[in-house]
Structure 1
């Protein structure tokens, strides 16, 4: 069962509303990707706090108004669902740095300042899923593939 603003882990209780909602959204997505609750909750909390520090007031307001933390896209290429568990992680150029994106996903999972950071994060995700990392050049062409152990 996905968590919501009405039912969520006790560890999220003292977070401010936008941070809690973002943490729930991230944790739900991580659970969909196969992470255990024990790993998903602290990672999601950390990422939600980071997001809140870097987000504009308008972005936070828009998220609170429009995004449903339990909503699941019916499109299998949406980036949230077990069907992406066996897909490679791609490191691609992004307007805000370098992004990690599961193959076939609509949205990036994370954006990092440097390509090196994005590759390291993609390797962590791919190792957890037992897939590979495909690193792209800024022009979108494939630079290299990195095999990870399952």
Structure 2
């Protein structure tokens, strides 16, 4: 069942308004792509929080004043659904530890320590029911 800002899952009620709006938008898109509600909600919540943490003030302001998600919205079916099931990689590159979903074009986040990167990778993998694959500094799979 799609949601809007007046009718959404209880798990979203304590989120900041912009994060909630983004989570509803993402969850509705996931539902349109065949995901079950029980899987779409936590994925959307995590992605919305991550978006808010990484978005510029202008992006957040722009999204805040954009049209609210509607239950009847149509979503782009060209999303790469396969990435949601792919494993999460932790590797060392350019003097930092990176976390990236396998086959994604860019990393999710970067860290100074491998432990921090692995912690973040586990959060992402747990949310997607996938695995974490770690590499040593010299690129060997562990």
> What is aligned with 1:133?
133
CA offset digits 1:6-45 (Å, max 9, x no partner): 542134335443121233356668888889459828x927
> What is aligned with 2:99?
100
Q: CA deviation at 1:121?
A: 2.5
What CA RMSD, in Å, does the superposition of the two structures yield over aligned residues? 4.8
Q: Hey, which of these two has a bigger chunk of strand by percent?
A: 1
CA–CA distance in 2 between the matches of 1:92 and 1:120?
13
Identify unmatched segments of 5+ residues in structure 2. none
Does the aligned pair in 2 maintain the 1:126–1:133 contact within 8 Å? no
- Which gives a bigger RCO, structure 1 or 2 (Cα 8 Å, sep 6+)? 2
CA–CA distance in 2 between the matches of 1:46 and 1:91?
18
> What is aligned with 1:44?
45
CA–CA distance in 2 between the matches of 1:144 and 1:89?
15
Among candidates 115, 126, 144, match of residue 140 of structure 2: 144
Give the aligned length: 133
CA–CA distance in 2 between the matches of 1:7 and 1:55?
25
> Are 1:87 and 2:83 matched, yes or no?
no
CA–CA distance in 2 between the matches of 1:107 and 1:6?
34
CA–CA distance in 1 between the matches of 2:63 and 2:116?
26
Does the aligned pair in 1 maintain the 2:5–2:68 contact within 8 Å? no
Closer, same or farther in 2 for the Cα pair 1:61/1:98, shift >3 Å?
Answer: farther
Q: Which has the larger radius of gyration?
A: 2
TM-score (norm 2): 0.53
> What is aligned with 1:18?
18
CA–CA distance in 2 between the matches of 1:112 and 1:63?
25
